[in-house]
Amino acid sequence: MKRLALILVALSLAFSPVFAQAKSGKKIKVALILSGPANDQGWNAVALQGLKDAEAKFGVETAYSENVGIADSEAAFMDYASQGYDLVIGHGYQYGDPAVKVGKRFPKTKFMAIEASSSSENTASYVIACEQAGYLMGVLAGSLSKTGKIGIVGGIEQPSIIKILEAYKLGAKSVNPKITVFTAYVGSFTDVNLGKEAALAMADQGADVLSHSANQAGTGVIKAAEERGLLSTGDSWDQSVISPKSVACSTIYNVPVLVLIAVEKVRGGTFKGGVFNLGMKEGVVDIASYHDFESKIPKKAKTSIVDLKKKITAGSFVVPIVIKSTSK
Protein backbone atom coordinates (compact mmCIF):
# COMPACT_ATOMS: atom_id res chain seq x y z
CA MET A 1 0.00 0.00 0.00
CA LYS A 2 2.98 2.30 0.69
CA ARG A 3 4.16 1.78 -2.89
CA LEU A 4 0.69 2.71 -4.17
CA ALA A 5 0.69 5.89 -2.10
CA LEU A 6 4.06 6.92 -3.51
CA ILE A 7 2.86 6.32 -7.08
CA LEU A 8 -0.27 8.40 -6.55
CA VAL A 9 1.66 11.23 -4.87
CA ALA A 10 4.15 11.29 -7.74
CA LEU A 11 1.37 11.41 -10.32
CA SER A 12 -0.45 14.12 -8.37
CA LEU A 13 2.62 16.33 -8.12
CA ALA A 14 3.73 15.82 -11.69
CA PHE A 15 0.45 16.52 -13.45
CA SER A 16 -1.81 19.44 -12.60
CA PRO A 17 -5.28 19.47 -14.20
CA VAL A 18 -5.27 23.26 -14.25
CA PHE A 19 -1.98 23.30 -16.15
CA ALA A 20 -3.14 20.63 -18.59
CA GLN A 21 -6.40 22.33 -19.42
CA ALA A 22 -4.77 25.75 -19.73
CA LYS A 23 -2.22 24.30 -22.13
CA SER A 24 -4.60 22.37 -24.37
CA GLY A 25 -7.76 24.41 -23.93
CA LYS A 26 -9.70 21.15 -24.08
CA LYS A 27 -10.95 18.96 -21.28
CA ILE A 28 -10.10 15.31 -21.87
CA LYS A 29 -13.04 12.91 -21.83
CA VAL A 30 -12.68 9.42 -20.37
CA ALA A 31 -15.33 6.67 -20.43
CA LEU A 32 -15.46 3.36 -18.58
CA ILE A 33 -17.34 0.20 -19.54
CA LEU A 34 -18.19 -2.24 -16.74
CA SER A 35 -19.38 -5.85 -16.85
CA GLY A 36 -21.55 -5.49 -13.75
CA PRO A 37 -22.89 -2.90 -11.31
CA ALA A 38 -20.47 -0.19 -10.23
CA ASN A 39 -21.40 -0.68 -6.57
CA ASP A 40 -20.47 -4.38 -6.42
CA GLN A 41 -17.82 -3.76 -3.71
CA GLY A 42 -15.37 -5.61 -5.89
CA TRP A 43 -14.01 -5.71 -9.45
CA ASN A 44 -16.26 -3.03 -10.93
CA ALA A 45 -16.21 -0.75 -7.91
CA VAL A 46 -12.43 -0.54 -7.92
CA ALA A 47 -12.46 0.52 -11.60
CA LEU A 48 -15.03 3.22 -10.92
CA GLN A 49 -12.79 4.48 -8.13
CA GLY A 50 -10.04 4.84 -10.70
CA LEU A 51 -12.32 6.92 -12.90
CA LYS A 52 -13.21 9.15 -9.95
CA ASP A 53 -9.54 9.54 -9.05
CA ALA A 54 -8.74 10.61 -12.62
CA GLU A 55 -11.55 13.15 -12.50
CA ALA A 56 -10.32 14.55 -9.20
CA LYS A 57 -6.60 14.62 -10.03
CA PHE A 58 -6.65 15.54 -13.70
CA GLY A 59 -9.95 17.39 -14.11
CA VAL A 60 -11.11 15.08 -16.89
CA GLU A 61 -14.74 14.69 -17.93
CA THR A 62 -16.00 11.16 -17.21
CA ALA A 63 -18.83 8.76 -17.96
CA TYR A 64 -19.44 5.06 -17.41
CA SER A 65 -21.79 2.25 -18.39
CA GLU A 66 -22.73 -0.67 -16.14
CA ASN A 67 -23.76 -4.27 -16.87
CA VAL A 68 -22.39 -4.27 -20.42
CA GLY A 69 -22.41 -7.84 -21.72
CA ILE A 70 -20.09 -9.17 -24.42
CA ALA A 71 -22.81 -8.88 -27.08
CA ASP A 72 -23.26 -5.16 -26.34
CA SER A 73 -19.63 -4.23 -25.78
CA GLU A 74 -18.80 -3.23 -29.34
CA ALA A 75 -21.79 -0.88 -29.44
CA ALA A 76 -20.74 0.64 -26.11
CA PHE A 77 -17.22 1.38 -27.38
CA MET A 78 -18.68 2.77 -30.60
CA ASP A 79 -21.08 5.04 -28.73
CA TYR A 80 -18.40 6.68 -26.59
CA ALA A 81 -15.95 6.99 -29.48
CA SER A 82 -18.58 8.69 -31.67
CA GLN A 83 -19.27 11.14 -28.83
CA GLY A 84 -15.66 12.28 -28.95
CA TYR A 85 -14.30 10.59 -25.85
CA ASP A 86 -10.49 10.61 -25.88
CA LEU A 87 -10.04 7.38 -23.91
CA VAL A 88 -12.51 4.51 -23.60
CA ILE A 89 -11.71 1.81 -21.04
CA GLY A 90 -13.20 -1.68 -21.03
CA HIS A 91 -12.78 -3.25 -17.61
CA GLY A 92 -12.34 -6.95 -18.34
CA TYR A 93 -10.69 -9.52 -20.60
CA GLN A 94 -13.79 -9.83 -22.77
CA TYR A 95 -13.49 -6.22 -23.93
CA GLY A 96 -10.11 -6.62 -25.64
CA ASP A 97 -11.23 -7.73 -29.09
CA PRO A 98 -14.19 -5.31 -29.33
CA ALA A 99 -11.86 -2.44 -28.38
CA VAL A 100 -9.44 -3.32 -31.17
CA LYS A 101 -12.27 -3.69 -33.68
CA VAL A 102 -13.83 -0.32 -32.87
CA GLY A 103 -10.38 1.24 -32.64
CA LYS A 104 -9.87 0.63 -36.37
CA ARG A 105 -12.87 2.86 -37.10
CA PHE A 106 -11.76 5.58 -34.67
CA PRO A 107 -7.97 5.89 -35.06
CA LYS A 108 -7.78 9.16 -33.10
CA THR A 109 -9.52 7.67 -30.05
CA LYS A 110 -7.48 5.74 -27.49
CA PHE A 111 -8.83 2.45 -26.18
CA MET A 112 -7.78 0.41 -23.16
CA ALA A 113 -8.86 -3.01 -21.94
CA ILE A 114 -7.92 -4.19 -18.47
CA GLU A 115 -6.87 -7.84 -18.18
CA ALA A 116 -7.16 -8.39 -21.94
CA SER A 117 -4.54 -9.65 -24.38
CA SER A 118 -5.50 -7.68 -27.49
CA SER A 119 -3.76 -4.61 -28.84
CA SER A 120 -3.36 -2.33 -31.85
CA GLU A 121 -1.78 1.03 -32.57
CA ASN A 122 -4.41 2.86 -30.50
CA THR A 123 -5.51 0.03 -28.19
CA ALA A 124 -3.64 -1.09 -25.08
CA SER A 125 -4.25 -4.01 -22.75
CA TYR A 126 -3.15 -3.52 -19.16
CA VAL A 127 -2.71 -6.96 -17.61
CA ILE A 128 -2.82 -7.31 -13.84
CA ALA A 129 -0.80 -10.14 -12.31
CA CYS A 130 -3.90 -11.35 -10.44
CA GLU A 131 -2.33 -14.81 -10.18
CA GLN A 132 0.13 -13.42 -7.62
CA ALA A 133 -2.62 -12.56 -5.13
CA GLY A 134 -4.54 -15.70 -6.09
CA TYR A 135 -1.56 -17.81 -5.06
CA LEU A 136 -1.37 -16.06 -1.68
CA MET A 137 -5.09 -16.62 -1.10
CA GLY A 138 -4.51 -20.30 -1.82
CA VAL A 139 -1.71 -20.40 0.74
CA LEU A 140 -3.98 -18.73 3.28
CA ALA A 141 -6.99 -20.95 2.57
CA GLY A 142 -4.85 -24.07 2.69
CA SER A 143 -3.42 -22.97 6.03
CA LEU A 144 -6.84 -22.23 7.53
CA SER A 145 -8.63 -25.38 6.38
CA LYS A 146 -9.28 -28.02 9.02
CA THR A 147 -11.03 -30.48 6.73
CA GLY A 148 -8.35 -30.49 4.04
CA LYS A 149 -10.97 -29.32 1.54
CA ILE A 150 -11.43 -25.80 0.17
CA GLY A 151 -13.25 -24.30 -2.82
CA ILE A 152 -13.01 -21.40 -5.23
CA VAL A 153 -15.70 -20.16 -7.60
CA GLY A 154 -14.89 -18.40 -10.87
CA GLY A 155 -17.17 -16.25 -13.01
CA ILE A 156 -16.77 -16.76 -16.75
CA GLU A 157 -14.19 -19.37 -17.74
CA GLN A 158 -11.70 -17.12 -19.52
CA PRO A 159 -7.89 -16.76 -19.21
CA SER A 160 -8.04 -13.81 -16.81
CA ILE A 161 -10.11 -15.86 -14.34
CA ILE A 162 -8.58 -19.28 -14.97
CA LYS A 163 -5.11 -18.02 -14.06
CA ILE A 164 -6.40 -16.95 -10.63
CA LEU A 165 -8.12 -20.25 -9.84
CA GLU A 166 -5.11 -22.26 -11.00
CA ALA A 167 -2.72 -20.12 -8.95
CA TYR A 168 -5.01 -20.53 -5.94
CA LYS A 169 -4.78 -24.31 -6.29
CA LEU A 170 -0.99 -24.17 -6.55
CA GLY A 171 -0.78 -21.97 -3.45
CA ALA A 172 -3.00 -24.29 -1.43
CA LYS A 173 -1.06 -27.38 -2.49
CA SER A 174 2.23 -25.71 -1.53
CA VAL A 175 0.92 -25.78 2.04
CA ASN A 176 -0.81 -29.16 1.90
CA PRO A 177 -0.02 -31.35 -1.14
CA LYS A 178 -2.97 -33.61 -0.29
CA ILE A 179 -5.55 -30.84 -0.02
CA THR A 180 -8.68 -31.06 -2.16
CA VAL A 181 -9.51 -27.86 -4.03
CA PHE A 182 -12.99 -27.71 -5.53
CA THR A 183 -13.39 -25.34 -8.49
CA ALA A 184 -16.43 -24.20 -10.45
CA TYR A 185 -17.16 -21.63 -13.13
CA VAL A 186 -20.70 -20.25 -12.99
CA GLY A 187 -20.64 -18.56 -16.40
CA SER A 188 -21.63 -15.17 -15.01
CA PHE A 189 -20.08 -12.19 -13.28
CA THR A 190 -23.38 -10.88 -11.93
CA ASP A 191 -25.57 -13.80 -10.83
CA VAL A 192 -25.23 -13.87 -7.05
CA ASN A 193 -27.49 -16.92 -6.72
CA LEU A 194 -25.31 -19.00 -9.04
CA GLY A 195 -22.25 -18.06 -7.01
CA LYS A 196 -23.97 -19.03 -3.80
CA GLU A 197 -25.24 -22.34 -5.18
CA ALA A 198 -21.77 -23.32 -6.37
CA ALA A 199 -20.26 -22.44 -3.00
CA LEU A 200 -22.91 -24.33 -1.04
CA ALA A 201 -22.26 -27.41 -3.20
CA MET A 202 -18.59 -27.21 -2.20
CA ALA A 203 -19.53 -26.78 1.46
CA ASP A 204 -21.74 -29.87 1.20
CA GLN A 205 -18.64 -31.80 0.11
CA GLY A 206 -16.68 -30.66 3.13
CA ALA A 207 -14.99 -27.43 2.01
CA ASP A 208 -14.50 -25.17 5.04
CA VAL A 209 -12.89 -22.20 3.27
CA LEU A 210 -14.65 -20.67 0.26
CA SER A 211 -13.08 -18.22 -2.17
CA HIS A 212 -14.04 -16.58 -5.45
CA SER A 213 -12.99 -14.63 -8.50
CA ALA A 214 -16.45 -13.92 -9.85
CA ASN A 215 -17.11 -10.20 -9.39
CA GLN A 216 -20.67 -9.61 -8.14
CA ALA A 217 -21.49 -13.33 -8.39
CA GLY A 218 -18.76 -13.84 -5.82
CA THR A 219 -20.87 -12.03 -3.24
CA GLY A 220 -22.98 -15.18 -3.21
CA VAL A 221 -19.91 -17.21 -2.27
CA ILE A 222 -19.24 -14.99 0.71
CA LYS A 223 -22.89 -15.14 1.77
CA ALA A 224 -22.83 -18.95 1.49
CA ALA A 225 -19.80 -19.08 3.78
CA GLU A 226 -21.46 -16.74 6.25
CA GLU A 227 -24.65 -18.81 6.20
CA ARG A 228 -22.74 -22.02 6.95
CA GLY A 229 -20.41 -20.48 9.51
CA LEU A 230 -17.38 -21.01 7.27
CA LEU A 231 -14.39 -18.87 6.36
CA SER A 232 -14.08 -17.09 3.02
CA THR A 233 -11.74 -14.82 1.09
CA GLY A 234 -12.69 -11.81 -1.01
CA ASP A 235 -11.54 -10.63 -4.41
CA SER A 236 -10.42 -7.33 -6.00
CA TRP A 237 -11.51 -5.16 -3.04
CA ASP A 238 -11.33 -5.48 0.74
CA GLN A 239 -14.57 -7.45 1.01
CA SER A 240 -14.51 -7.86 4.76
CA VAL A 241 -17.16 -5.14 4.70
CA ILE A 242 -19.55 -7.68 3.19
CA SER A 243 -19.09 -10.21 5.98
CA PRO A 244 -16.61 -9.28 8.75
CA LYS A 245 -17.14 -12.61 10.51
CA SER A 246 -16.42 -14.69 7.42
CA VAL A 247 -13.90 -12.90 5.17
CA ALA A 248 -10.41 -13.58 6.50
CA CYS A 249 -8.63 -11.64 3.75
CA SER A 250 -9.09 -10.36 0.19
CA THR A 251 -7.03 -9.86 -2.92
CA ILE A 252 -6.52 -6.21 -3.83
CA TYR A 253 -6.17 -4.96 -7.40
CA ASN A 254 -5.18 -1.31 -7.48
CA VAL A 255 -6.96 -0.57 -10.74
CA PRO A 256 -6.95 3.19 -10.03
CA VAL A 257 -3.20 3.14 -10.66
CA LEU A 258 -3.79 1.69 -14.16
CA VAL A 259 -6.47 4.24 -14.96
CA LEU A 260 -4.30 7.13 -13.78
CA ILE A 261 -1.35 5.90 -15.84
CA ALA A 262 -3.47 5.59 -18.98
CA VAL A 263 -5.11 8.99 -18.54
CA GLU A 264 -1.74 10.64 -17.91
CA LYS A 265 -0.38 9.13 -21.12
CA VAL A 266 -3.35 10.38 -23.11
CA ARG A 267 -2.93 13.85 -21.64
CA GLY A 268 0.78 13.82 -22.39
CA GLY A 269 0.39 12.46 -25.90
CA THR A 270 2.43 9.35 -25.08
CA PHE A 271 -0.31 6.73 -25.13
CA LYS A 272 0.68 3.70 -27.20
CA GLY A 273 -0.95 0.41 -28.04
CA GLY A 274 0.46 -2.84 -26.71
CA VAL A 275 0.13 -5.33 -23.89
CA PHE A 276 1.53 -4.14 -20.58
CA ASN A 277 1.95 -6.31 -17.47
CA LEU A 278 1.86 -4.94 -13.91
CA GLY A 279 1.83 -6.69 -10.55
CA MET A 280 3.10 -6.46 -6.99
CA LYS A 281 6.35 -4.82 -8.04
CA GLU A 282 4.42 -1.91 -9.53
CA GLY A 283 2.03 -1.62 -6.58
CA VAL A 284 -0.94 -2.87 -8.61
CA VAL A 285 -1.43 -6.20 -6.78
CA ASP A 286 -1.65 -6.72 -3.02
CA ILE A 287 -3.76 -8.36 -0.33
CA ALA A 288 -5.88 -6.69 2.34
CA SER A 289 -5.30 -6.81 6.09
CA TYR A 290 -6.65 -9.70 8.15
CA HIS A 291 -8.80 -7.41 10.32
CA ASP A 292 -10.44 -9.45 13.12
CA PHE A 293 -8.67 -12.59 11.91
CA GLU A 294 -5.21 -11.23 12.69
CA SER A 295 -4.88 -13.32 15.84
CA LYS A 296 -6.69 -16.34 14.38
CA ILE A 297 -4.40 -17.01 11.44
CA PRO A 298 -1.43 -19.28 12.19
CA LYS A 299 1.81 -17.36 12.61
CA LYS A 300 3.52 -19.72 10.18
CA ALA A 301 0.99 -18.85 7.48
CA LYS A 302 1.37 -15.09 7.98
CA THR A 303 5.16 -15.35 7.91
CA SER A 304 5.04 -17.46 4.76
CA ILE A 305 2.77 -14.95 3.01
CA VAL A 306 5.02 -12.02 3.96
CA ASP A 307 8.06 -13.90 2.62
CA LEU A 308 6.25 -14.81 -0.59
CA LYS A 309 5.23 -11.19 -1.17
CA LYS A 310 8.85 -10.11 -0.86
CA LYS A 311 10.04 -12.82 -3.25
CA ILE A 312 7.31 -12.06 -5.81
CA THR A 313 8.08 -8.34 -5.67
CA ALA A 314 11.81 -9.00 -6.02
CA GLY A 315 11.24 -11.43 -8.86
CA SER A 316 12.91 -14.35 -7.11
CA PHE A 317 9.62 -16.27 -7.15
CA VAL A 318 7.34 -16.23 -10.17
CA VAL A 319 3.80 -17.53 -9.83
CA PRO A 320 3.07 -19.83 -12.80
CA ILE A 321 0.45 -18.52 -15.23
CA VAL A 322 -1.98 -21.24 -16.30
CA ILE A 323 -4.76 -20.18 -18.68
CA LYS A 324 -6.36 -23.58 -19.27
CA SER A 325 -8.36 -25.26 -16.53
CA THR A 326 -6.79 -28.35 -14.99
CA SER A 327 -8.25 -31.13 -12.87
CA LYS A 328 -8.31 -31.04 -9.10
Q: Where do the domains of the chain lie?
A: 2-128+254-282, 131-252+298-314
93, 96, 97, 103: CA torsion to nearest 10: 160
The CATH class for the domain spanning 2-128+254-282 reads alpha beta
d(CA 165, CA 154): 7
Per-residue model confidence as pLDDT tens digits over 92-101: 999 999 999 9
Q: Which helix (H) or strand (E) holds 308?
A: helix 299-314
**pLDDT higher than threshold 50 for residue 18:** no
Residue 11 has pLDDT above 50, yes or no: no
Mean pLDDT, the chain, integer = 93
240 Cβ contact partners less than 8 Å away, ≥ 6 residues apart: 234, 247, 249, 250, 288, 291, 292
- What is the CATH code for 131-252+298-314? 3.40.50.2300
pLDDT value of residue 26: 78
Are both 2-128+254-282 and 131-252+298-314 of the same fold?
yes
The predicted structure's pLDDT at residue 326? 84
Per-position DSSP letters for 69-84, written without gaps between them: -HHHHHHHHHHHHHTT
pLDDT at 230 over 80: yes
The answer on pLDDT for 250 being more than 90 is yes
Over the stretch 51-83, which tens digit does the pLDDT of each residue have? 999 999 999 999 999 999 999 999 999 999 999
**pLDDT above 60 (res 34):** yes
The reported pTM is: 0.90
Is the per-residue pLDDT at 8 higher than 60? no
Residue 315 has pLDDT above 60, yes or no: yes
What is the rounded distance in angstroms from the CA atom of residue 256 to the CA atom of residue 12? Answer: 13
pLDDT for residue 14 = 41
